[in-house]
């Protein structure tokens, strides 16, 4: 029995139909760090929510809280990534990066040792699971550079990670083809001298123009005539294909034999000016040998010049065998005191005693010295990395030399630290870098691991200091979404994040034409899978409003629940968003559109264009076997019914009185007038409309 037959005409193209004007509308939330307690309604999805428990809202992505009963600050496992003899003691700036776009964390390094004949700029491909990394060469060179560094960064702003590194003849950046399989060398600086060494690197946008600049400490010369030393900032010109045209500024320099520079980095003690400043370490020598070792801070002026504003000096006159008696070593930037600007932590030694101190920044380029703790055996001072290692929101300090350890911050005072030894380092390490190496694309491991280099080894120390609570929940505030015009609407829910087998994520939303209606409405379809796994461009049904309104009120919830064993991983939520589309308030009108949404923080996008619709009735179950379409684009007629591979139905409610319909894989002519006829055996109160 044919109860109803309706026709409509629409002009289809691969752009959004003008039929919808300013539609769709929606909101996205991807940060919850301001916490619970937002009881008032709002039309802005900000950084707060209504209530929750068991959730760590201080981090992005959203994850579970660590279980306090599970903490063990000494639980570390070492994984050797490479034990090649090519790896030297002074291979610095080994850093994580995502090189090939597979979502798993890789490692970039410049490995060379003066006992070898070949140096290599390499990347280690991170595995989907486990700790077996595959090495890929980017650049090989000879003779080797015993003090070698590298830095992964997107130099050409094409969205993939390139690599800055040097050898004995110059400094370069290597352009990634996006897969890590092809690299193009571009010069930053080249020389004809016998030896050039650039060992410590930082790559950031120093002047706020959107292009990353390169800061290095370097020496140039030869063993016979001597070496000159520089701390140099090379400006990115933003002009391809090379992006560096030789423009640079000498931050500081020494003449032949006068001294050298150790570490240098960009940091941001004044986030309001849009410029990065520089901290670096320098060692000068006089006729008798080592003279002084200084930490220098220079702030950047609008004209891309730098003014010294702070220094910390140590007298490093040599001992009886010519070694310096004092010096600065480890240097790192982070926000120690949580006031929004970056401070510096420094490792140093003097008179046989190692110690760590803080250079605290305050408004007006004011810097102050604060002692943190002693390192009496000088075992850790090459590190001085400041990082929150245990997820408690406070900055800890990691140090390395002949041992690896971290000082856990236990209070808000400058000296409130507790030492946790991790391992002894047999062949010394001059580099440590903290990073969450075992997160991968879909596993939330909040504790921070550590990468070190020692002679003949690159090692990751896996942090396993805690597991997570069994359940967590979050309820948003009731969120208002203003509409472009009074209309009836349907609302869909999306979320992006990462599942792990041990936990289930459940997310749903509800809607109302008023706050009270939303509070009393039933929750919509529960989603257990993120957008990138389902590919459901229509999202998950949250509800519909059949009365014209100028604002729709939406609330969502998130639930985590552990169904498997205890693990040191948490599921993750990157973002939750809704989209609102117009629907006919009465059933005589039918609307349709091409759709390929681009959600915030999406892992994927549509590979083909499809037409998606929603059918519903007020009370009657829709029998999809009795619902069929005729599509005519003026060239071909397509009869579509349930067995067709071009037609699919998904019931959105338990009673199947709301059905998602998708018509796909039909080569509709771009710009053609398309007629879609709906023939159905369900009752006259059925409606057809678009679904996002």
Alpha helices in 506-594 (DSSP H): 515-520, 531-534
| Closest of 521, 539, 533 to residue 571, by C-alpha | 533
Separation CA 167–CA 186 (nearest Å): 13
Beta-strand ranges (E) seen in 620-690 are: 627-632, 637-640, 647-651, 658-663, 673-680, 687-690
Distances (CA, A) of 378 to 347, 385, 387, 669: 9, 15, 20, 74
Co-location of 573 and 608 in the same domain: no
Co-location of 133 and 192 in the same domain: yes
> Would 251 be classed as within a structural domain?
no
CA angle, 661 as apex, 655 and 666 as ends, to 5°? 160
- Which token pair is 576? 């939750």
pLDDT for the residue 117: 83
> Would 54 be classed as within a structural domain?
no
Query: Which stretches of the chain score pLDDT less than 50?
Result: 1-21, 587-609, 680-692
Q: Pick from 216, 246, 276: which residue ends a domain?
A: 246
Co-location of 79 and 213 in the same domain: no
Co-location of 138 and 209 in the same domain: yes
> Would 483 be classed as within a structural domain?
yes
Separation CA 691–CA 685 (nearest Å): 18
Co-location of 267 and 153 in the same domain: no
Separation CA 134–CA 124 (nearest Å): 5
Co-location of 215 and 127 in the same domain: yes
List 538's β-bridge partners, or say none: none
pLDDT for the residue 593: 41
Q: Pick from 531, 552, 583: which residue ends a domain?
A: 583
* Strand-strand pairing, 306-315 and 326-334: unpaired
pLDDT for the residue 475: 96
- Give the number of other Cβ atoms within 10 Å of residue 136's Cβ: 16
Q: Cis omega (within 30 of 0) on the bond before 218?
A: no
Separation CA 534–CA 177 (nearest Å): 29
Q: For the chain, how many structural domains are there in total?
A: 5
Co-location of 478 and 461 in the same domain: no
Co-location of 365 and 461 in the same domain: no
> Would 30 be classed as within a structural domain?
no
Co-location of 97 and 231 in the same domain: yes
Co-location of 501 and 568 in the same domain: yes
Distances (CA, A) of 121 to 106, 179, 386, 651: 14, 16, 27, 54
> Would 497 be classed as within a structural domain?
yes
pLDDT for the residue 674: 58
- Residue recorded with tokens 């423009």: 247
**CB 313 within 8 Å of CB 293:** yes
Q: Pick from 221, 246, 271: which residue ends a domain?
A: 246
CA angle, 462 as apex, 457 and 467 as ends, to 5°? 175
**CB 590 within 8 Å of CB 584:** yes
- Which token pair is 69? 């009963």
Co-location of 534 and 609 in the same domain: no
pLDDT for the residue 345: 96
pLDDT for the residue 543: 86
pLDDT for the residue 667: 66
**Which CATH number is 219's domain given?**
2.120.10.10
What does the buried/exposed string (b/e) look like for 603-642 if buried means 16 or more CB atoms within 10 Å of the residue's CB? beeeeebbbbbbbbbeeeebebeebbbbbebeeeebebee
pLDDT for the residue 352: 81
pLDDT for the residue 324: 76
Give residue 569's domain range: 469-583
Torsion of CA 600, 601, 607, 613, to 10 degrees: -40
**609-643 pLDDT, tens digit each:** 456 666 666 555 667 766 666 666 666 776 676 67
Co-location of 103 and 231 in the same domain: yes
* DSSP SS3 for 505: strand
> Would 44 be classed as within a structural domain?
no
> Would 668 be classed as within a structural domain?
yes
> Would 61 be classed as within a structural domain?
no
pLDDT for the residue 540: 84
Rg (CA), the chain: 30
Separation CA 542–CA 523 (nearest Å): 7
């Amino acid at each position: 029995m044919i109860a109803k037959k309706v026709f409509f005409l629409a002009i289809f193209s691969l752009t959004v139909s003008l039929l919808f004007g300013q539609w769709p509308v929606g909101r996205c939330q991807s940060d919850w760090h301001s916490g619970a307690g937002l009881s008032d309604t709002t039309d802005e999805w900000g950084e707060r929510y209504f209530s929750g428990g068991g959730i760590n809202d201080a981090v992005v992505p959203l994850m579970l809280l660590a279980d306090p009963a599970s903490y063990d600050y000494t639980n570390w496992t070492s994984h050797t990534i490479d034990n090649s003899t090519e790896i030297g003691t002074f291979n610095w700036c080994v850093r994580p990066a995502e090189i090939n776009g597979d979502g798993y964390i890789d490692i970039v390094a410049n490995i060379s040792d003066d006992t070898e004949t070949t140096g290599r700029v390499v990347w280690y491909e991170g595995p989907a699971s486990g700790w077996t990394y595959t090495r890929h060469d980017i650049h090989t060179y000879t003779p080797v550079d015993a003090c070698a560094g590298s830095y992964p960064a997107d130099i050409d702003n094409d969205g993939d990670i390139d690599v800055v590194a040097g050898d004995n003849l110059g400094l370069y950046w290597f352009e990634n083809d996006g897969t890590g399989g092809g690299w193009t060398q571009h010069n930053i600086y080249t020389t004809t001298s016998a030896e050039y060494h650039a060992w410590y690197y930082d790559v950031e946008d120093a002047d706020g123009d959107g292009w990353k600049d390169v800061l290095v400490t370097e020496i140039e010369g030869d063993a016979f005539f001597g070496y000159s030393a520089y701390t140099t900032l090379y400006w990115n010109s933003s002009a391809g294909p090379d992006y560096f045209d030789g423009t640079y500024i000498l931050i500081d320099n020494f003449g032949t034999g006068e001294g050298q520079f150790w570490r240098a980095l960009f940091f941001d003690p004044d986030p309001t000016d849009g410029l990065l400043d520089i901290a670096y370490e320098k060692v000068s020598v006089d006729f008798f040998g080592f003279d002084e070792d200084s930490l220098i801070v220079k702030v950047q002026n609008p004209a891309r010049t730098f003014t010294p504003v702070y220094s910390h000096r140590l007298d490093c006159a040599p001992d009886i065998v010519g070694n310096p008696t004092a010096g600065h070593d480890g240097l790192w930037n982070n926000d120690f005191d949580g006031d929004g600007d970056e401070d510096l932590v420094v490792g140093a030694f003097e008179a046989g005693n190692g110690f760590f101190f803080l250079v605290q920044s305050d408004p007006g380029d004011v810097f102050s010295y604060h002692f943190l703790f002693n390192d009496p055996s000088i075992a850790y001072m090459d590190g001085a990395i400041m990082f929150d290692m245990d997820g408690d929101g406070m900055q800890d300090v990691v140090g390395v030399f002949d041992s690896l350890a971290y000082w856990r911050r236990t209070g808000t005072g400058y000296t409130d630290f507790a030492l946790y030894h991790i391992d002894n380092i047999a062949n010394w390490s001059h580099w440590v870098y903290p990073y969450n190496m075992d997160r991968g694309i879909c596993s939330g491991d909040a504790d921070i691991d550590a990468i070190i280099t020692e002679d003949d080894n690159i090692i990751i120390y896996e942090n396993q200091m805690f597991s997570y609570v069994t359940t967590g929940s979050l309820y948003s505030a009731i969120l208002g979404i203003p509409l472009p015009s009074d209309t009836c609407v349907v609302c869909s829910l999306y979320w992006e994040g990462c599942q792990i087998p041990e936990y289930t994520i459940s997310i749903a939303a509800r809607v109302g034409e008023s706050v009270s209606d939303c509070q009393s409405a039933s929750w919509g379809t529960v989603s257990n899978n993120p957008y990138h796994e389902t590919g459901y461009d229509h999202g998950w049904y949250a509800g519909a409003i059949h009365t014209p309104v100028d604002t729709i009120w939406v609330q969502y919830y998130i639930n985590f629940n552990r169904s498997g064993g205890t693990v040191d991983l948490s599921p993750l939520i990157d973002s939750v968003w809704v989209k609102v589309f117009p629907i006919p308030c009465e059933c005589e009108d039918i609307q349709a559109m091409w759709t390929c949404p681009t959600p915030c923080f999406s892992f994927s996008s549509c590979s083909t264009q499809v037409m998606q619709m929603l059918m519903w009735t007020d009370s009657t179950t829709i029998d999809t076997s009795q619902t069929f379409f005729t599509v005519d684009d003026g060239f071909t007629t397509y009869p579509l019914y349930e067995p067709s591979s071009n037609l699919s139905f998904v019931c959105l409610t338990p009673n199947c009185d709301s059905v998602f319909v998708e018509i796909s894989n039909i080569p509709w002519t771009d710009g053609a007038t398309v007629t879609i006829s709906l023939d159905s055996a369900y009752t006259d109160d059925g409606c057809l409309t678009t679904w996002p």
